[in-house]
Copies of this chain bind each other. A is one copy, B any other.
Amino acid sequence: MVKLTDVAALAGVSASAASRVLSGDATVRVSEATRMRVLEAARQLDYVPNHAGRSLRTSRSSTIALVVPDVTSAVFAELANGADQEAASRGLAIVLGRAERVRDDDDWLRRMLGESRIDGVILQVPEGTQPEDLASMVERETPIVIINSLDDGPLSTIVLDDAAGISTAVNHLHSLGHERLGLVGGLASNATARRREAGFRSALQASGLPVREEWITRLGYTGADGRAAIELLEKSAPLPTALVVANLNAALGVLAAIHARALRVPSDVSIVALHDVWYADATWPPITTVRMPLRQLGAAAVARVAEGGQQVTHMTIRSPEPLLVIRQSTAAPG
């Protein structure tokens, strides 16, 4: 590997001068000619600074960890794209971590931090994690931001405007003429799920519709949870004419369970799900969804971590607004 001294030698300057030129140090004092020779030498030798050397000296790794419960959740793709882009524009690298490993005691995150491989962390905690579970992270001086889950507490947080998303879904159904709406929600222990449920309730009230407790389930976000939700709702017949599903994965299960009962979507039941993901368009019928500003969430999280800062902030991403993507799972009732 070619190193800084090789570049300096070729350019006929000291390593020190080369370093300052290459890092774009504004306070550097070199003649334009020298500058050019250094840059040209670096280009010619295809110089890439050694990360260990730089990182050791500066004690910064220019790397932040993005830790999510499930990388394979399609919701994650857009989040990661936003994060990537923001990181690239700041010269940061992102390493992906899978939150499972943060829970077991092999304790990936703590090791990465201890080894100084990571300057900061964006953490989406798994469903059901309580603020107390994060206590051990609070003392660290490392910037941490919790996304998409808690919206207060001793760590900085960034969340989506879940209530607005659900409200968009409710308004769509109401404008189609539905008056009997149910919610297939996440676990009550989950802060996101609570925000979505609160949004559901207030959207119904705003529309002058009744809130029927027996039409609200809180079983979780997986496909199996969605299926179970239909079983549960069935017990308190009659079913609502439309369902807001708080997560697209659950919506797959909901759809399957409805098919299994030989009901039709949307003629018997309309469905709107939160989060717009490729397979919303690959089901039958394709599912109407509400698209959330996940890309912006990712970018904001990187920005927040990169800027470090000691004070704890709580932020909600409201822009762009939740976008209704109408497909074929919603129609007028009856």
Contact = CB atoms under 8 A, between A and B. Distances in A.
B53 A223 contact: no
A50 interface: yes
A106 to B, nearest CB: 6
Contacts of A279: 223, 249, 252, 279
A226 interface: yes
Contacts of A1: 114, 116
Interface string A211-253: 0000000000011101100000000000000000000010011
A255 interface: yes
B84 A80 contact: no
A189 interface: no
Interface stretch (A19-27, A95-103, A200-208): A95-103
A284 B115 CA distance: 48
A117 B51 contact: yes
A40 interface: no
Nearest to A251: B282
A106 B88 contact: yes
B98 A95 contact: no
Contact of A50 (B51, B73, B96, B116): B116
A226 B282 contact: yes
Nearest to A1: B116
A314 to B, nearest CB: 28
11 contacts: A50-B115, A51-B55, A51-B115, A52-B53, A53-B56, A71-B77, A71-B80, A72-B76, A93-B112, A223-B279, A223-B281
Interface of A: 1, 46, 48-53, 55-56, 59, 61, 70-74, 76-77, 80, 84, 88, 93, 95-96, 98, 101, 106, 111-112, 114-117, 222-224, 226-227, 249, 252-253, 255-256, 259-260, 278-279, 281-286
Query: Closest 6 interchain pairs by CB?
Result: A223-B282, A48-B114, A259-B284, A51-B115, A52-B56, A96-B96
Given A95-B96, A249-B279, 20 more contacts: A50-B56, A52-B52, A52-B55, A52-B61, A52-B116, A56-B56, A71-B96, A72-B74, A84-B98, A88-B106, A95-B95, A96-B96, A223-B279, A227-B282, A252-B279, A252-B282, A256-B286, A259-B284, A279-B279, A283-B283
